């Protein structure tokens, strides 16, 4: 199934810092509705820990990564790599818009 928009999602979310003394991992929790749709559409493509390969675009910065299911949030978590945060001037607490394309 490859009609336009099938693999691509526009997402808005708040960046949060993984808790801990020396935490340096930044994440965005995808909305539950989009997470449920992604899970339903791409269940057969999940990898280790239930992850799915994705391509992320924030502003002018794009990279390949994976999203990870979080049972407590009932949604996928997206790690925001340091290089992208620096280029796009993103900090914990910022609300950001991004484009997520599932690469399954």
Residue 50 phi/psi, 5-degree rounding, is 80, 15
Residue 40 vs residues 6, 72, 98: alpha-carbon distances, Å: 12, 18, 21
User: Tell me, what's the pLDDT at 36?
Assistant: 95
User: Tell me, what's the pLDDT at 74?
Assistant: 95
Query: What is residue 50's three-state secondary structure?
Result: helix
Residue 20 pLDDT class (50, 70, 90 cuts): confident
User: Structural domains in the chain?
Assistant: 8-102 (2.40.30.100)
pLDDT per residue as tens digits for the range 31-74: 999 999 999 999 888 888 889 999 999 999 999 999 999 999 99
CB 52 within 8 A of CB 43: no
Residue 2 pLDDT class (50, 70, 90 cuts): very low
- Is 4 a residue whose pLDDT tops 90? no
pLDDT per residue as tens digits for the range 64-102: 999 999 999 999 999 999 999 999 999 999 999 999 999
């Amino acid at each position: 199934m490859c009609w336009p928009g099938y693999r691509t999602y526009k997402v808005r979310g708040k960046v949060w810092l993984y808790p801990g003394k020396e935490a340096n991992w930044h994440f965005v929790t995808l909305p539950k509705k989009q997470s449920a749709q992604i899970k339903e559409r791409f269940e057969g493509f999940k990898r280790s820990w239930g992850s799915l390969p994705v391509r992320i675009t924030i502003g002018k910065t794009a990279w390949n990564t994976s999203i990870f299911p979080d049972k407590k949030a009932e949604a996928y978590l997206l790690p925001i790599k340091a290089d992208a945060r620096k280029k796009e001037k993103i900090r914990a607490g910022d609300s950001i818009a991004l484009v997520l394309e599932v690469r399954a």
